[in-house]
Structure formats: structure tokens, C-alpha cells
Structure 1
Amino acid sequence: MHYRNFTKDNLKVSALGFGCMRFPILNNDSSKIDEEKAIEMIRYAVDNGVNYIDTAYPYHQGNSELLVGKALKDGYRKKVYLATKLPSWLINSYEDFDKYLDEQLEKLDTEYIDFYLLHTLNKKYWDNLKALNVSKFVDEAKRSGKIKYIGFSFHDNLDVFKEIIDYYDWDFCQIQLNYIDRNYQAGEEGLRYAYNKGISVVIMEPIKGGKLSNPSDEIKSIWELSEIKRTPSEWALRWVLNHKEVSLLLSGMGELEQVKENIKTVSDAKPGHLSKSEIQLIDRVTKIYQEKIKVGCTGCEYCLPCPEKVSIPNIFQIYNDSYVFGTEDNSRSRYKHYIEKGIDASKCVECGNCEAMCPQNIDIRSQLKEAHKKLWM
């Protein structure tokens, strides 16, 4: 394992963090964690150098924090930095801040949280938290010793990211980044922006929720051109860790073998370790994925809110995934939930409001029709 500096205090964190949202489960029920296997995985990771454990209030329907608390008994709590997240969408009053923090401390069976994040910030949640004086809460929580460092995880466009970064003296932040999503949400530009402000950056979705682990034969043939043979997952992790601006990446590991493989991968994945030819190989793979994209939607959400509640960016993501990753059955299953909620493309009345706001100049109305044909017809 190698370690990188984290926060302005230059804490040493493992390049691999353990994301606690994809534990092995029982009876196909995400709320029922296989505790024996999950605890074995966490402790194996810690015993082999991982010292950053990341969970959150809603993971495994509220049971991830409880499991992590159990896994960190027997002296393991002192060996790690523990991160969890405030459920931003549940905060309706100032009192809610302490209510949820205290509940999380109890569930985790700990006196303090090393790294506390405002979870899944977008403009809507951020504006609400600001109005409720979240900075005052953070300052008081730090003074009381309940949390040591403060950050946020992010899901919105680059402009909103920069606004949040500039608002407060953050210790760190967490963004989505992988070799396909270089310009998605905060993206590489956001990564550099935070780094240049002295804010440490944690990366989530380095393998895009596992999608980059199962490539097509076309992409497999490109990976085979490398003199050094690596798994698709390893290529994805190494691309992220090649960035000097990255402090660590999170991997939501579901079995012990994944833990072992990822620990081995990051052991020598230091900034700048990839050769020029290896970077060119990854760029070739990126280009193939991007050429399969049907709609050039970046998920900026300028098109929202739709007056008919059509979930435009999410529909385009599902639509693109069906082509890029060949996940037709999965995409149709996901889209079915949108139909059940009444937020699918068929609800579009072609008012055109979205197209007037789209910075990518996408013909949204016609593309929604094509997406509906693909995903439902």
C-alpha cells in the first residue's frame, strides 16, 4: 500500500479507501448485510494497509453504519480514519444537523468521526443547507470534537461545484471521476480547481459502478495490446491514481477477492506512474466508449425542472448506457421505474423549454422520443 497526503495537515491516507455501500448481502435484500463476510473484508483491508473507511447514512438501507461500527471493534477503530455523510436531503431545520450526526455517532459506536461529508450536494440541497446555516453547525461540531474534518460529496455541474468550493474553508471533497467521465459533473477541471485551492479530493465511481470491469470484445482487444497485462478494473483504478491531484479513490467492494485485487493494484499506483503509451491506450478505449454515446448530455441539469417532471438527464444516461455498455436489459428495467413514477419520456409535451436552456444544444424533444422507443417499445 502507498499513502498520500490528505487535508492541510498532511495526514497519510491509503490510496485505496473502502467504500461501504456494496457489501455482500443475504436473500438479495440490500438491507440484510452478510455480517461475517463484510467484517472479514473490512478487517482484511485494514490488516493490509487500508486506513480510510467510507460509509453513509442511507447505505444498505441504513445498516452500513451499524456494520462498520461492529467491524471496527477489537482495536480496529484506532487503525483507521472513519468517514460518513450527513443525509442532506433529510435536513429541514437547524436541529436536524445535530439529530442525524448524533444518530450516526451512536450507530458507528464512536465518539467522533474523522471525515464528515455533506452528502450528495447539488444546487437544491446546497441552497437549503446554506439557508439553515450549515457553516455554523460545522464549526460547532468541530469545536465539540464530534467531527475532525469537513467535506462534501458532489453531484451537479461544474459551476455549482466551484460555488461550493469557494463558500467555505473545506478540508476535502468527493467527486465522481473515471476515464469516461472526464468532463462529467466536476470532472478533471473540478479536480484541479479544488487541488489548487488546497482542498484534498476523494474519487468515487472510479470503475463507473463496475461498468468498466466488463468491456466488449472490441475493448478487450485494445487492452491486450499492452505489454503489461492488467484487468479492465485495474486500468480504471490506475488512470485515476495517475493524477497527482487525487488523494485517494473509493472502491465499493462486494467480495474478498475484489479487496485483494484492488490492494494489489494500488500498491504501486503512484502519481505519474503510467507511461505515455499506456495513457494513449486508455485514451483509445475512452474514444470507443464515447463514440457509442447516442446523446451528448453531460448531466448539467440546466434543462430542469421540466414542467411535466420528465427526468431528462437520467433518461439520457440510461439510454446511453444501453449502447455504451450493452446493458439493454438492465437499462429497460431501470427505465420501467421511471414509467411507474410518471417521469419517463412519454410525458414530454414538447414545450421546448429544455432546449432553450441546454448548453450542449441537444435536440432534446426528438432524442427523448428515440430513447423511449429504445427503452420501452
Structure 2
Amino acid sequence: MQMNRFKGTEVSALGLGCMRLPKVTPEKEDIDYTRAQQIVDYAYEHGINYFDTAHMYHGGMSEEFVGHALKKYNRSSYFLATKMPVWMADTPAGVERIFNLQLSRLQTDYFDFYLIHALNKSVFQRCKELGAYEFLARKKQEGAIRFLGFSFHDVPDQLEIICNEYEWDFAQIQLNYLDWEMQDAKRQYEILERHGLPCIVMEPVRGGLLASPCEASNRIFKEARPEQSVASWAIRYAASLPNVLTVLSGMSNLEQIRDNVSTMEHFEPLTEQDYSVISRAVAAYKAHSTIPCTGCRYCMDCPNGVDIPKMFSLYNHYAISRDADGYRTAYAALPEAERAESCIACGICAQHCPQAISIPEKLAQIRETVAKL
């Protein structure tokens, strides 16, 4: 496994993200412990030593699972990362309560990497109001946190403000070859590099999208390197950047983790020719008008029952395939409450979307599209 040096330690260049673990019931958040344990074990046995979770992943069940799954391994042999959702704390005491609950769930007395979760302008303001950074800095001094950082979902100018406000050890941003320009990941990466903050990459495969962007893109990748998976291009893209500490991938089955591990065990940084291939594949993908949803489910649950990620997934499949009959059939098979027609445009979902998607507007667009099929 490719390793990267960080403050006297060695971190695996591939990390296991625990937001998309295998589930017992696909439409729910319940984790299939047997299959998920197999993924964790495979990761550990093949040199992955960075395990990333969060308070809200899998409806609060991810931390409990990760604590259970890693318990059999020597605590000093891996890095454990989780995150503080300050929007879930009403008071400074609430921040402490969440932190202590996380220690309990994860069956540990310290975190290696601890992040303030999903910082943007409003969440950062909430962080300051609650004194969250100051509390976590004290926990770091006490030894309950080794390295303190944050994950980020906002514009580059806000990232600059956050980097200047406090002393951080690292930061986590969404970075992949599609978002390098579309979500301004390039500027975010450059800001972290300038501040000397190692970059942890989330969504390198954009919620699975870049494992198969579209037929034209897939063909471009396969013609260039027939022996490599399409997903491997996305992993290599992120891992080739010099300031990237680890690339987090939410691997939900053994096939995915075997492929990603193989990529990083025989890691080859991208060449100029590879970058040219990616540019052509991105151009082919951009020819389709899709919704930039990663399937993170931060927007859920909708108070009116709309299955927002499912709506966007079906629409994107149609936008790329142009299979009107298939789209119409799949849409009609869903319960009425889960369809776009049930949206009342309350806007609660949009407030939580890391991609800043105007969700009610996109659902209205979907309604119009379906009506015309």
C-alpha cells in the first residue's frame, strides 16, 4: 500500500470512508455487519490504516459499527477519524455530549483525526457561537485528539477565512477530476497547499459516478488503459496530487475495495498523457445535462416523503441514456410520496446539501420532464 508521511506517522494513501457501507435494506441505513466487517478486514489486511466515519453516517449507526469492527485490532495500528456536527448541538454542553458519545460509540479514549464537520459560512458561525474549536483544542491538549481539522463544503473565499481563523492540522475537501473545475476544487486545494494543510480527499469517485460516468467517457478510459477499471482513474487523479494525505473512498462491496487496493498497491501517478485522457472523458460527460448529486443523503429525510437522491439518480440515468421508457417505468414504480410531485418546496433539504443544489428547483424540473415523456 502506498503510504504518506504525516507528523512522524505513516498514513495509507487510500482510506476507508464509512458512509456507504453495505446495508441490510437498500432504502434504509441499517448496516449489514457481516459484509461490512469483511470490507474493514480486507482494508486492514491490505495496509489501509485510515478509517473515516461521522456522527450522522448511516443514521448514527456508522460510528457504532466502526467501533465494533476495529475493536479486534491493536488501537495503535490504525488511524480513527470522526467528525463534530455542530448544527446538532444547541449549547456548548451539547458539543461535549456529542464528543463523549462518539468516544463511547467508537469504543476508544482518543481520536487520531478529528474534524469539525461540513463547514460552510453558517456552520462556521455556529461553530464560533458554541466555542466548538476551543473545546476541541482543549481535548487535543488533554490527549483525546491527536490531529484537529475540518471538512469543508463552500466557496474558496470561505475556506480562506476558516484557514486564517484557527490553527488546524489538516482539512478535508471534495476533490475529483469532475469537480476540479465544476466545484472549484482546484482553488480549494491550492488554498490548503498555501496554508501548509495536508489535504484529505472525500468523494474522489463522486458517490460512484466516476466508476462509470457515461458510455463515451468509459470508452475513452478503456481505450487508453484496457487493463484498468474506470474508477481507478478517479482514485489515481486524487492520489497524484502532492499535498493529498489520503484519498477516502466509501467502498460498499468487496469488488470495489479489491479494485481500489490494487490501484494503490501498484500506484502510478498520472502522466501528461493520462491527464489528456481525463480531459477528453470529462468533455464527453459534460455533453449530458445532469444534476451534481453524490448520493450523500444529507438532504434526507424529506418531511414530505420525497426520496431526493433516488429522484436525482433516476433523472441522471435518463439524461445520459435517453431511455425514456425505462425512466418512465422506474419512476412509476415508486410510491407516490417518494416522487418529485410530493415536493412542496419547503427548502429544508437545500439547506443541508453539500453541493449547493437548488433541490426544489431540480425536483420541479424532474416533474416537467416526466410529464413530457
TM-score by length of 2: 0.81
Matched to 1:4, the amino acid is N
Shift of 1:174: 0.8
1:15-94 aligned at under 5 Å gives the runs 15-28=13-26, 30-94=28-92
Instruction: Verify: 1:276 aligned to 2:278, yes or no.
Output: no
Q: Any conservation in 1 of the 2:216–2:281 contact (CA below 8 Å)? A: no
Distance 2:59 2:365 in 1: 34
Shift of 1:78: 2.4
List 4+ stretches of structure 1 deviating above 6 A. Answer: 316-320, 329-335, 365-369
Distance 2:4 2:49 in 1: 11
Which whole-Å deviations, capped at 9, do the CAs of 1:77-121 have from their partners, x for residues lacking one? 321000001122202211111110000000000010111111111
Instruction: Verify: 1:195 aligned to 2:193, yes or no.
Output: yes
Distance 1:4 1:262 in 2: 17
Distance 1:279 1:206 in 2: 16
Distance 1:89 1:239 in 2: 33
Aligned length: 340
Which whole-Å deviations, capped at 9, do the CAs of 1:139-170 have from their partners, x for residues lacking one? 21112211111111111112212211111111
TM-score by length of 1: 0.80
Which whole-Å deviations, capped at 9, do the CAs of 1:314-342 have from their partners, x for residues lacking one? 9x987984566549578997995665342
Distance 2:4 2:273 in 1: 25
Q: Secondary structure at the match of 2:199?
A: strand
Shift of 1:225: 2.3
| Map of 1:373 onto structure 2 | 368
Distance 2:166 2:193 in 1: 15
Matched to 1:5, the amino acid is R
| Map of 2:342 onto structure 1 | 340
Q: Any conservation in 2 of the 1:42–1:71 contact (CA below 8 Å)? A: yes
Distance 1:339 1:150 in 2: 43
Q: Any conservation in 1 of the 2:87–2:126 contact (CA below 8 Å)? A: no
Q: Secondary structure at the match of 2:66?
A: helix
Distance 1:207 1:127, change over 3 A: same
| Map of 2:243 onto structure 1 | 245
Matched to 1:286, the amino acid is V
Distance 1:220 1:344, change over 3 A: farther
Q: Secondary structure at the match of 1:32?
A: coil
1:88-107 aligned at under 5 Å gives the runs 88-107=86-105
Q: Secondary structure at the match of 2:54?
A: coil
Instruction: Verify: 1:157 aligned to 2:155, yes or no.
Output: yes
Distance 1:44 1:76, change over 3 A: farther
| Map of 1:14 onto structure 2 | 12
Q: Secondary structure at the match of 1:45?
A: helix
Deviates more, 1:148-157 or 1:210-219: 210-219
Distance 1:174 1:78 in 2: 22
Distance 2:124 2:361 in 1: 32
Q: Any conservation in 1 of the 2:147–2:169 contact (CA below 8 Å)? A: yes
Distance 1:88 1:82 in 2: 19
| Map of 2:2 onto structure 1 | 2
Shift of 1:135: 2.5
Matched to 1:235, the amino acid is W
Matched to 2:94, the amino acid is D
1:189-268 aligned at under 5 Å gives the runs 189-227=187-225, 229-268=227-266
Q: Secondary structure at the match of 1:283?
A: helix
Q: Any conservation in 2 of the 1:88–1:121 contact (CA below 8 Å)? A: no
Q: Which runs of 5+ in 1 are unaligned?
A: 299-313, 346-364
Distance 1:253 1:376, change over 3 A: farther
Q: Secondary structure at the match of 1:183?
A: helix
Distance 1:82 1:372, change over 3 A: same
